A and B are shown apart, each in its own frame.
Chain A
Amino acid sequence: MSLISLLIAPLLAATLPAVDENVVEKAIRPHQGQIVVVNLWATWCGPCREEFPDLVRLYNENKGSVVLVAVSMDEPEDAAKAREYLETHKSDFPAYIRGFKDFDAFSSALDPDWKGAIPATFIFDQSGKRVFSHEGKVTYKQLKKVISRLK
């Protein structure tokens, strides 16, 4: 590896943007008109890694009408690890790392009834209304069913 790439690598790794309590305004509302699938995951979370290919597949098959918003719940200093994992999926969906100061406010913005376990997946319809919440692993079939109903 050249000296330049050695120097640049950490900078690139640090480019996973943070998302705070304003997750709806920042990460969901800009995609109004499309179905937004928000997935909370972490590099250390086994079931998150198991379900992730299904989410990416759903996004890749429905580009234009469905956006996947992946929010890593890894700690901000572990952004590089999260980014490295995302890169193995070679896709272009928006991805963030947690940057909130108040977990209650962040989780309530997504769904006040979410109990706090990850993986967690929330689907917002074209108008931005939350229509699906799931704690634990989701399957492609489950997601597809919700998406088809909204399309």
Chain B
Amino acid sequence: MRSTVALFTIAAFCFIIALAQAEAAVKVGDTVTDFALTDVRTGKEISLRDLKGPAGVALIFIATECPYSNAFNKVMADLAKEYKAKGINVVGINPNKTEPADAVKRHADNNGLDFVVLKDSGAIADQFGATRTPEVFLLDSQMTVRYHGAIGNSKLPTTKAEQARADDLRPALDAVIQGAPVEVAQTKAFGCTIKR
């Protein structure tokens, strides 16, 4: 009997730990609390609330040295331009410990990432439960997560820039702008492990 109780206690404890870990990750439908990170170009802290467009914001965890992330550089820059006009801002977040702010800035400038790129020590990646680059969290105007996953090519991931598309993220962006439900709110994003 005593061992049964002990086992039950251990099981319950493990369950609580598992729950706590699950809760650490931001899921579709969750509303995100505001945070501030340093803009690699200006060196100034800027809050998510200030970065958000009138219809929302697409947060994309990116890397300087990950071929899967780099394959989407032009796709991200094109999306940023197109959707800024439609009310959603694209924001890059570099969470890799191995990639300092000055390298992130150089990379952004050299690769035409004409949108705000933030440097994260890893705390925001932890808060979101992000594990890889590139990985997208699309928030609407109320800061509610409406889409989580790949930018595109989720069926057949690619490191080739000429094959990279935004076929996963684009329908979600359009739905959020139209105030419609996002049909595919979660895709599996393949990518490089975030270096914590």
Q: Report A's interface with B, CB cutoff 8 A.
A: 44-47, 73, 75, 100-104, 107, 115-119, 135-137
Contacts and interface: CB of A to CB of B under 8 A. Distances in A.
B156 A137 contact: no
A116 B189 contact: yes
In the A-B complex, the 5 residue pairs with the smallest Cβ-Cβ separation, listed nearest first, are: A117-B132, A117-B193, A116-B190, A136-B193, A44-B67
Contact of B190 (A44, A103, A119): A103
Q: Binding site of B, secondary structure by majority: helix, strand, loop or mixed?
A: loop
Interface residues of B, number: 20
A27 B132 CA distance: 26
Nearest to A104: B188
Given A119-B193, A136-B193, A103 B155 contact: yes
Given A103-B156, A104-B154, A116-B190, 15 more contacts: A44-B159, A47-B193, A73-B157, A75-B159, A103-B155, A103-B188, A103-B190, A107-B190, A115-B189, A116-B188, A116-B191, A117-B132, A117-B190, A117-B191, A119-B193
B128 to A, nearest CB: 12
A46, A102, A107, A116 interface centre (most CB from chain B within 10 Å) = A116
B44 interface: no
Nearest to A45: B192
Nearest to B187: A104
Q: Binding site of A, secondary structure by majority: helix, strand, loop or mixed?
A: loop
Nearest to A137: B193
A150 to B, nearest CB: 20
A117 B189 CA distance: 8
16 contacts: A44-B67, A47-B195, A75-B159, A100-B156, A101-B156, A103-B154, A103-B190, A104-B154, A104-B188, A107-B188, A116-B132, A117-B132, A117-B192, A117-B194, A135-B131, A136-B131
Contacts of B192: 45, 117-118
A118 B155 contact: no
A101 B158 CA distance: 12
B164 to A, nearest CB: 12
Nearest to B158: A75
Contacts of B45: none
B126 to A, nearest CB: 13
Contacts of B194: 117
Contacts of B188: 103-104, 107, 115-116
Contacts of A104: 154-155, 187-188
A87 to B, nearest CB: 22
B65 interface: yes
B11 to A, nearest CB: 18
Given A119-B193, A136-B193, A137-B193, A75 B155 contact: no
